[in-house]
Amino acid sequence: MILTVTLNTALDITYRVPALTPHASHRVTDVAERPGGKGLNVARVLAALGHDTVVTGFAGGPAGAVLRDLLAPLAPVDALVPVAGTTRRTIAVVDDTTGDTTQLNEPGPAVTPEEWAAFLASYGKLLRDAEAVALCGSLPPGIHVGAYAELVRHARAAGVPVLLDTSGEPLRRGIAARPDLVKPNADELAQLTGSREPLRATHDARRRGAHAVVASLGADGMLAATAEGMWQATPPTRMKGNPTGAGDSAVAGILSGLVEQLPWPQRLARAVALSAATVAAPAAGEFDPGTYEDLLPRVEVTAHATAA
C-alpha cells in the first residue's frame, strides 16, 4: 500500500456564486463538502488509479468528525489520529462568471506533545506495510518545524521511499534529511534556493539533499532533476477550470510511477496529464478520466542533457 501523511487535514467547503464582488452580499448557488488536505487529495487520486492507499495525520472536533464521515465511503483507508482540537476548514468561493477561485484557509488545531507521540507510534506501524509514503502540506500549530525531517528519517530507516511536498522552513529542514523526492512549485523552489531560473533552482534543490526534485511550473508542466537524468514534461494544451489540487494529483502521478517502477519520462507524463485533468474536474482529489486518457499520450517530454 501507499501511505499519505496529512498533518493539517481540512474539511474543504466550496461555495459557488454567480459572480464574486468585494464588499457585497452573495447568494450561494451550490455548496459542497469534501475531506481535504494535500495528502488526502493525493490518496484519493492514487485510489482512482488502482492503488491501495492509507491516510494518516490528525482529525478532531466537529469538522474532523464530518471529514471522517465523508472519508468513510471512499477508497483510502482512514488511519487518522484523533486530537482534542478542531480540524480546520478551507473555504473556496468559485466565481461562475470568471471561473476564478478565492481560497480561505484556517490554521488548524494545536497538536499537543502527547498527540504527536501517538501519531509517531502509529506512523511507525504503518510504515511496515508501506511501499512508499508521501508527506504533504502545512504543519498545524504545536508541531515543531523539523517534523517532516523527523518523518523522512523514520521512513528511510524503514527502507520506505519518501516524497516530501511542503514549503518554507519545513521544506528546508526536510530536504536536508535526504528524502527520495521533493515536489515544490515554482514559488516554493524560489524560496528554497533564491533562484527563479527553473533549471538552476532544481539542481540547487537537489544538491541540498533530495535524491530527486520534481518542480511544478504551472502551465509549463514539470521539471525533474534526478540521478538518472533531467526531463521536462509539458501539457499539450492549457486547461481552463479550477487548479486547486492539481499539484496533489501530480504527486499521485509521481508516486504511483515510483511504485510501478516506470521510467522517469513516463512518471512525468502521467503527473502532468493527471494535473491537467484535475483542473478540468470539479474538486481537488478528483480528475476527469476522459481528459486524462486524452492528454497522457500527448504530453511532450524533453530531456535536458546538461546541468544548469
Residues involved in catalysis: 248
Q: What single string gives the DSSP state of each residue in 65-113?
A: HHHHHHHTTSSSEE-PEE-SSPPEEEEEEEETTT--EEEEE---PPPPH
Give residues with Cβ within 8 angstroms of 131, minimum separation 6.
1, 2, 160, 161, 259
Phi-psi region of 109 (alpha: psi -120 to 50; beta: other; left: phi over 0): beta
The answer to whether residues 22 and 49 touch, using CB atoms and an 8 Å cutoff, is no
The answer to whether residues 271 and 233 touch, using CB atoms and an 8 Å cutoff, is yes
Tell me the β-bridge partners of 134.
4, 163
**HSE-up of 17 (CA within 13 Å, CB side)?**
18
Residue 307 DSSP one-character state: -
CA distance 155 to 123: 9
CA dihedral 299→165→45→249, nearest 10 degrees, is: -30
Tell me the β-bridge partners of 55.
4, 78
